[in-house]
With several copies, the nearest count.
Chain A
Amino acid sequence: MSETLQIIDPSGKKVGTAPRLKNEVMVAMFRAMVRTRAFDDRCMKLQRTGKIGFSVPNKGIEATSVGAAAALDAARDWIAPHYRDFGIPIFHGIPAVSMMDNMFGNIDDGAVGRQMPVHFSFRDQLNYLSISSPLGTQIPQAVGVAMAMQRRKEDGVCLTTFGDGSTNTLGFHSGMNFAGVYGAPVVFLCQNNGWAISCPVEKQTASEGFAIKGEAYGIPGVTVDGNDVLAVYRVVSEAVKRARAGEGPTLIEAVTFRMGGHSTSDDPSKYVDAKEFEAWEARCPLKRFRAYLLAEGKLTEAEAAAIEEEAASEMMAAAKEAEAKPVPPLDSIFSDVFADIPAHLRVQSDFAVGHYSSRGEGVNEKGEFPL
């Protein structure tokens, strides 16, 4: 198991050489982490109060998401994301309300209310591919996106993120192998958060960690402390640099922990030992980076507190705004199946619009999502 890169230790002390970063960039990274946590908190509250049906806790993953996001150039790079990665769009300036639109599945949702919450897709500000529920499918797609840039002699890179469990999908095996064979400009970022729903990593695979899986594909593997935003930034930046230079793909394992249930439908107390949560709380990525920034004098206590308060009210406002928007129109069921609506869907759309506008009674109550 390749040893794990760490730059800031859990107490916030610098233990490695920090990457050269402008103050405003480091503060932007801190702000993005705080806003990620705030967005996550807000979504958990919205779900508990029944305003949205589902969310996926991002607590604990902020450093991995934001550190990776900061290493990318939104103007030329692409992202083929895992669903547990709020920090990437947040760092790159996707408005919180656009993300909330998806949580509510309203008329402005990029997925037009067709997908479950946390299944974002963005195009205009960011090449952020549509999140899929079937796991691992984004991995070979990332390779295809990268090979397209390779063929056009562009210097863009595609970052794809996925969980530890997702390394056992078809997509991981085919995507890693194609990338190795074609030297595609891809960065594979495995979020090892200890669990795949209730399956611990040791039941997921017998390999010594996940970085080593690169060996099977001739791809170098690196392990990093996923709760150390500067360490993640550095390894991802180096991998991006290699990819841009035409030196091929890299597999990065970010070691972190899922600080909650798999989703709002999951009760981890059934299978996660409470002590594990305590142990990892002490390695909290936010506290750590906050302490570092204060110690290094990049940020004052007052500035940090202000960022935290702003974030909380920003997310509350975003939720209010998204909640107030109407649901998508009925005929949105029938668009985007194909570029043009074929005759048979035109007929079905006309039927649906006629039927539901004329019928007296409403429609059934909605069910509840179990996972």
Chain B
Amino acid sequence: MSELTMVQAVNDGLKSIMREDDSVLVLGEDVGPKGGVFLATEGLTSEFGEERCFDTPLSEDGIVGVGVGMAMNGLKPVCEIQFQDFIFPAFDQIVSEAAKMRYRSGGQYTVPMVIRTPYGGGIRGGLYHSQSGEAYFAHTAGLKVVIPSTPYDAKGLLISSILDPDPVIFMEPKALYRAFREEVPDGVYTVDLSKTREVTPGDDAVIFCYGAMVPVATEAARRVKESRNKDVRVVDLRTLMPLDEESVLQAARDCGRVVIVQEAPRFCGYGSEISALIAEHAVETLEAPIRRVAGFDTPFPNTLENYYLPDARRVTDAVEEVLDF
């Protein structure tokens, strides 16, 4: 057990599994001696050697394409894309290849690969160091999409993702990398994919969220308890695809009032699917409109980033709205 930040937990997760499984290796830009721009891969090259953690040329298409090939031939590559904003040159390898390989080969070839990438706002990164693209991947059949919100989950979900037989897009909320510390077990442990986590109990309303919006939603729930004396359940989705749809619907039925929070732009965002699921399968239990609190439908600004990102106040207002409806 040790007290780790999320980025330390990611680093510990990589080391722990690499010690037990020789087939796991890490590749990406600056992941070697520098240890990655956020230090998530610090110490890997010195411990495991260049063969198992190495810097690549500046080509996301190459990182993922080579990773797909390695995965088809017995390795478990963990590709790092330095910022999620820079994943698009690899979009073809991800969407056309990694996602469809098992399907198009009738299971003859499979891609047990993880693509780790920091996403989201909070570091004054402007248009290209702040984006949240989870909806692109969740809409692509054949990909799993995982987003942790705590150090404990980050390590356990990452190891589960590495051991998973299918490609996983593992998105790390960079705003939480060093936001707080938490007790994290030593060595290998897993956290099941496709299970949501109840952060706070309650049945007056439910907030669905993930990643960096989890602490924001939790703070909002606390404020609503104060302002309205209502118990708001906060659900951390954790695995966006395959989503545990039943637990989402159950929470909506239990509470009858729903707010969904995401950093990404609202339109066609991941939250739209959560809303649509409820409107299709639990609409009769709703006591209020389903409110979405999301990034605005614009590119991500820089100077005004904190007016773009949903915060506890915006979420609190939305929850009070559905409660007062």
Asked if A and B form a direct contact in the complex, defined as CB atoms under 8 angstroms apart, the reply is yes
A285 contacts chain B at the CB level, 8 A cutoff:
no
What are the interface flags for B287-317 relative to A under an 8 Å C-beta threshold, 1 for contact and 0 otherwise? 0000000001111011111111101011001
Q: Which of A110, A178, A371 contacts B106 (CB 8 A)?
A: A110
B34 contacts chain A at the CB level, 8 A cutoff:
yes
User: Are the C-beta atoms of A114 and B302 separated by less than 8 Å?
Assistant: yes
Q: Once bound together, how far apart are the Cα atoms of A275 and B77, in whole Å? A: 35
Q: Which residues from 123 to 157 on chain B have a C-beta closer than 8 Å to any C-beta of chain A?
A: 123-129, 141-142, 144
B85: A residues at CB distance < 8 A = 133-134
B72: A residues at CB distance < 8 A = 129, 141, 144-145
User: Are the C-beta atoms of B105 and A342 separated by less than 8 Å?
Assistant: no
Nearest-neighbor residue (CB-CB) of B179 within chain A: A367
Of B95-103, B184-192, B228-236, which stretch is located at the interface? B95-103
User: Are the C-beta atoms of A116 and B126 separated by less than 8 Å?
Assistant: yes
Q: Which residues from 1 to 46 on chain B have a C-beta closer than 8 Å to any C-beta of chain A?
A: 25, 29-30, 32-35, 37-38
Nearest-neighbor residue (CB-CB) of A78 within chain B: B73
What are the interface flags for A340-371 relative to B under an 8 Å C-beta threshold, 1 for contact and 0 otherwise? 00111100100010011001010110111111
Q: Once bound together, how far apart are the Cα atoms of A113 and B126, in whole Å? A: 9
Q: Once bound together, how far apart are the Cα atoms of A33 and B106, in whole Å? A: 28
Of B196-204, B242-250, B254-262, which stretch is located at the interface? B242-250
User: Are the C-beta atoms of B307 and A371 separated by less than 8 Å?
Assistant: no
A-B contact count (CB 8 A): 290
User: Are the C-beta atoms of A113 and B69 separated by less than 8 Å?
Assistant: no
User: Are the C-beta atoms of A177 and B304 separated by less than 8 Å?
Assistant: no
A22 contacts chain B at the CB level, 8 A cutoff:
no
User: Are the C-beta atoms of A368 and B106 separated by less than 8 Å?
Assistant: no
Nearest-neighbor residue (CB-CB) of A271 within chain B: B33
B307: A residues at CB distance < 8 A = 330, 333, 352, 356, 363
What are the interface flags for A133-173 relative to B under an 8 Å C-beta threshold, 1 for contact and 0 otherwise? 11101011111111111011000001000000110111101
B141: A residues at CB distance < 8 A = 337
Q: Which residues from 118 to 140 on chain A have a C-beta closer than 8 Å to any C-beta of chain B?
A: 119, 121-123, 129-130, 132-135, 137, 139-140
B282 contacts chain A at the CB level, 8 A cutoff:
no
A109, A129, A149, A270 — most chain B CB neighbours (10 Å)? A129
User: Are the C-beta atoms of B298 and A328 separated by less than 8 Å?
Assistant: no
B122: A residues at CB distance < 8 A = 364, 367
Given the known inter-chain contacts A105-B303, A367-B123, please indicate yes or no for A203 contacting B96, CB distance below 8 A: no
Given the known inter-chain contacts A134-B86, A141-B72, A364-B311, please indicate yes or no for A178 contacting B105, CB distance below 8 A: no
A28 contacts chain B at the CB level, 8 A cutoff:
no
User: Are the C-beta atoms of B129 and A133 separated by less than 8 Å?
Assistant: yes
User: Are the C-beta atoms of A151 and B75 separated by less than 8 Å?
Assistant: yes
User: Are the C-beta atoms of A113 and B58 separated by less than 8 Å?
Assistant: no
User: Are the C-beta atoms of B58 and A168 separated by less than 8 Å?
Assistant: yes
B227 contacts chain A at the CB level, 8 A cutoff:
no
Q: Once bound together, how far apart are the Cα atoms of A245 and B93, in whole Å? A: 30
Q: Once bound together, how far apart are the Cα atoms of A78 and B51, in whole Å? A: 21
B97: A residues at CB distance < 8 A = 132, 134, 137, 141
User: Are the C-beta atoms of B65 and A134 separated by less than 8 Å?
Assistant: no
User: Are the C-beta atoms of B69 and A147 separated by less than 8 Å?
Assistant: yes
Q: How far is the CB of B18 from chain A (nearest CB, A)?
A: 13
User: Are the C-beta atoms of B61 and A170 separated by less than 8 Å?
Assistant: yes
- Residue total for B at the interface (Cβ-Cβ under 8 A): 89
Nearest-neighbor residue (CB-CB) of A158 within chain B: B69
Q: Once bound together, how far apart are the Cα atoms of A364 and B305, in whole Å? A: 10
B92 contacts chain A at the CB level, 8 A cutoff:
yes
Q: How far is the CB of B238 from chain A (nearest CB, A)?
A: 15
Of A4-12, A191-199, A227-235, which stretch is located at the interface? A191-199
Q: Which of B57, B71, B121 contacts A199 (CB 8 A)?
A: B57
A334: B residues at CB distance < 8 A = 296, 298
User: Are the C-beta atoms of A132 and B106 separated by less than 8 Å?
Assistant: no
Nearest-neighbor residue (CB-CB) of B71 within chain A: A144
A203: B residues at CB distance < 8 A = 55, 57
User: Are the C-beta atoms of B124 and A116 separated by less than 8 Å?
Assistant: yes
Q: Which of B61, B104, B305 contacts A111 (CB 8 A)?
A: B104
B267 contacts chain A at the CB level, 8 A cutoff:
yes
A106 contacts chain B at the CB level, 8 A cutoff:
yes
User: Are the C-beta atoms of A165 and B65 separated by less than 8 Å?
Assistant: no
Nearest-neighbor residue (CB-CB) of B216 within chain A: A364
Q: Once bound together, how far apart are the Cα atoms of A169 and B59, in whole Å? A: 6
B313: A residues at CB distance < 8 A = 359, 361
A174 contacts chain B at the CB level, 8 A cutoff:
yes
Q: How far is the CB of A113 from chain B (nearest CB, A)?
A: 3
B30: A residues at CB distance < 8 A = 197-199
Nearest-neighbor residue (CB-CB) of A163 within chain B: B58
A335: B residues at CB distance < 8 A = 107
Q: Once bound together, how far apart are the Cα atoms of A286 and B33, in whole Å? A: 32
User: Are the C-beta atoms of B142 and A338 separated by less than 8 Å?
Assistant: yes
What are the interface flags for A259-302 relative to B under an 8 Å C-beta threshold, 1 for contact and 0 otherwise? 00000011000110000000000000000000000000000000
Q: Once bound together, how far apart are the Cα atoms of A147 and B25, in whole Å? A: 12
User: Are the C-beta atoms of A115 and B127 separated by less than 8 Å?
Assistant: yes
Q: How far is the CB of B113 from chain A (nearest CB, A)?
A: 10
Q: Once bound together, how far apart are the Cα atoms of A173 and B69, in whole Å? A: 16
A112, A328, A345, A356 — most chain B CB neighbours (10 Å)? A112
User: Are the C-beta atoms of B123 and A368 separated by less than 8 Å?
Assistant: yes
Given the known inter-chain contacts A134-B128, A344-B242, please indicate yes or no for A199 contacting B29, CB distance below 8 A: yes
Q: Which of B32, B96, B108, B267 contacts A110 (CB 8 A)?
A: B108
Q: How far is the CB of A91 from chain B (nearest CB, A)?
A: 20
Q: Could you list some 5 contacts between A and B, CB below 8 A? A: A148-B74, A333-B308, A336-B106, A339-B165, A367-B121
Question: Which A-B residue pairs are the 9 nearest by beta carbons?
Answer: A144-B69, A140-B65, A174-B62, A113-B303, A133-B128, A342-B242, A367-B123, A363-B306, A141-B69
Extra A-B contacts (8), CB below 8 Å, given A144-B73, A178-B56, A204-B57: A123-B105, A130-B108, A132-B128, A140-B68, A151-B51, A204-B58, A344-B242, A363-B306
